[in-house]
Amino acid sequence: MKKILFAISAAAVMLAGCRKTDIIEESGVGSVAFTFTSDESGYVTKALPEVDVNTLAVKITGKDGGYSQEWKSVSEMPEILELASGTYTLTASTPGAKAVAWDQPVYGGSKDFAVVVGKVSNVDLVCSITNMMVTLNPTENFLNELTSWEVTVRSQDGTLVWDEKTYEEGRAAFFNVAPLSVLVKGERFDGAEVVQQSLSITDVAAKDHHILNLDAQVTGSIEQGGLHLTVDNTVNDKNENIHIPGFDEVPVEDDDDPETPGGDDKPQPSTAPTMVWESNPDFEVTPITVPMKDITIRISAPEGIKDFVVKVESETEGFLSTVSAMVSSSNSHLDEDYVILDLIGDQTAIGMLGSLFPTGEALEDQVSVDFTLTELVPMINGFTPESGAIHTFTLTVTDNKGQSLSQPVSFVTE
């Protein structure tokens, strides 16, 4: 899965050479500065088409409904935008995206941010893939035994069909999130037999990568066909099998892959990490209050937690400096306005922060942990933060299977 990272920071504006560098300080007016970079991570099974961040469409709307502005592409945006003080929503998306298309990952994301009079607002927006990818993975036996075949994948929005030519071109199909139906048709090399089998896929989500694995025994029988669904490491793993009947002239034993008596083609439980904040399920920007509402995030990692880090970013220098003093020097990045809390690998952080968070053995190899910021966040007010200052804690958990999930948790000073 590729992700597009939108960094909006005052420091970036000073270094990048903005189109407008004068910040107007007048009653009711603040500024937002924009720079754009891309995160090159993606599906490990297939490289996605390159994405030019300058082509993404952008929209900003006011929470009170009084402001709305759109840009057809990032390249048309000003690098500094002056807005009336208040709360806004920034969204970005792939323009002109189709519901069903070849080689078309669709990106999207949104985030709320605050504008304060005479200040530069800092916002991070991560846009990830919002549709699903489908690819084929036929074995050599399948390709050799069937001289004529096609695989049809259909959703409520449309249909795409692979044949031998389409497969050789390496095409990947993309669908809006919706249940899929798969139909496999094949003709044996001597033309004597034809097979047809269908399958429904109902457990679907954004960023899923469905890999259709097709196999045929060398005798011409499809003894163990399969439809295997895999996804990137931020969503649920799912597995389904399809048995294609026919081509059964001579049964062939397969000692390397024996069938389980009775079979089980039900989707397997998720093993990827998840994060749930029950009182704020959408992880919206939250005002800092005293007392603070519950900030307990339930982290589940069925494969066991291997690494857990928190990236702390704050516009309040005193608070960030204090956090920096609680970690090893290698994790302090004050010159870049952030600090890393490695709560399993950094012994300094473990010793200093053990009273606030689960650390060390309380995290390592655990399958479920309640991580709370309820006590820490109100402490920010003790450093006299400016009104509208944003403070972000990005939680990243990696399990023993190498699956990772990151979730920013942001707060604003009222």
Report which of residues 343 and 213 the model is more confident about: 343
105: in domain:
yes
Share of the chain above pLDDT 70, in %: 74
CB atoms within 10 A of CB 124: 18
293 and 379, same domain (yes or no) = yes
SS3 34: coil
In the chain, the number of structural domains is 3
101 and 117, same domain (yes or no) = yes
Q: From CA 12, how far away is CA 142, in angstroms rounded? A: 53
- pLDDT of 36 reads 60
86: in domain:
yes
152 has pLDDT over 70? yes
141 and 58, same domain (yes or no) = no
107 and 149, same domain (yes or no) = no
Q: Please, which pLDDT band fits residue 35 given cuts at 50, 70 and 90?
A: low
249 has pLDDT over 50? no
- pLDDT of 39 reads 54
| DSSP for 348-377, written as a single string | HHHHHHTTTS--GGGTTT-SEEEEE-TTTG
Residue ending a domain, choose from 130, 152, 175: 130
| DSSP for 198-267, written as a single string | EEEE----TTEEEEEEE---TTS--SS---EEEE-TTS-------------SS----TTSPPPTT---SP
Rounded mean pLDDT, 257-269: 49
323 has pLDDT over 80? yes
Report which of residues 207 and 246 the model is more confident about: 207
- pLDDT of 250 reads 41
The answer to pTM > 0.85 is no
219 has pLDDT over 90? no
260: in domain:
no
- pLDDT of 282 reads 84
- pLDDT of 270 reads 61
263: in domain:
no
- pLDDT of 109 reads 82
349 and 276, same domain (yes or no) = yes
Q: From CA 106, how far away is CA 206, in angstroms rounded? A: 10
Q: Please, which pLDDT band fits residue 38 given cuts at 50, 70 and 90?
A: low
Task: Give kind and range of the element (H or E) at residue 125.
Answer: strand 123-129
Q: Read off the tokens for 345.
A: 């690998």
Residue 211 is part of a domain; what is its CATH number? 2.60.40
401 and 280, same domain (yes or no) = yes
Which of 369, 384, 395 has its CA nearest to residue 313?
A: 395
Q: Please, which pLDDT band fits residue 244 given cuts at 50, 70 and 90?
A: very low
Q: Domain of 356?
A: 271-414
Mean pLDDT for the chain? 77
390 and 319, same domain (yes or no) = yes
Report which of residues 340 and 32 the model is more confident about: 340
- pLDDT of 214 reads 80
- pLDDT of 328 reads 92
pLDDT in tens, 382-405: 888 888 888 999 999 999 988 888
Least confident of 207-216, 236-245, 388-397: 236-245
CB atoms within 10 A of CB 28: 11
**107-115: strand order across its sheet:** 35-39, 3-8, 123-129, 107-115, 86-93, 57-62, 68-71
Q: From CA 108, how far away is CA 86, in angstroms rounded? A: 23
Q: What are phi and psi of 361, to 5 degrees?
A: -65, -20
51 has pLDDT over 50? yes
Rounded mean pLDDT, 147-169: 90
294 and 412, same domain (yes or no) = yes
236: in domain:
no
290 and 408, same domain (yes or no) = yes
237: in domain:
no
Which of 362, 361, 382 has its CA nearest to residue 372?
A: 362
Task: Give kind and range of the element (H or E) at residue 318.
Answer: helix 317-324
Residues in contact with 373: Cβ distance below 8 Å, sequence separation at least 6, in sequence order: 295, 297, 393, 409
247: in domain:
no
Rounded mean pLDDT, 113-133: 82
pLDDT in tens, 341-353: 999 999 999 988 8
362 has pLDDT over 70? yes
177 has pLDDT over 80? yes
253: in domain:
no
Q: From CA 213, how far away is CA 332, in angstroms rounded? A: 46
Q: What are phi and psi of 317, to 5 degrees?
A: -60, -40
109 and 144, same domain (yes or no) = no
Rounded-to-10 torsion of CA 72, 74, 76, 81: 110
Which of 163, 96, 101 has its CA nearest to residue 136?
A: 163
316 and 410, same domain (yes or no) = yes
159 and 122, same domain (yes or no) = no
- pLDDT of 47 reads 54
CB atoms within 10 A of CB 6: 22
Rounded-to-10 torsion of CA 198, 204, 210, 212: -10
Report which of residues 38 and 240 the model is more confident about: 38
Least confident of 133-142, 159-168, 210-219, 286-295: 210-219
pLDDT in tens, 281-315: 888 889 998 888 889 999 999 999 999 999 999 98
20 has pLDDT over 50? no
Q: Are 338 and 313 in contact (CB under 8 A)?
A: yes
Q: From CA 107, how far away is CA 93, in angstroms rounded? A: 5
122 has pLDDT over 60? yes
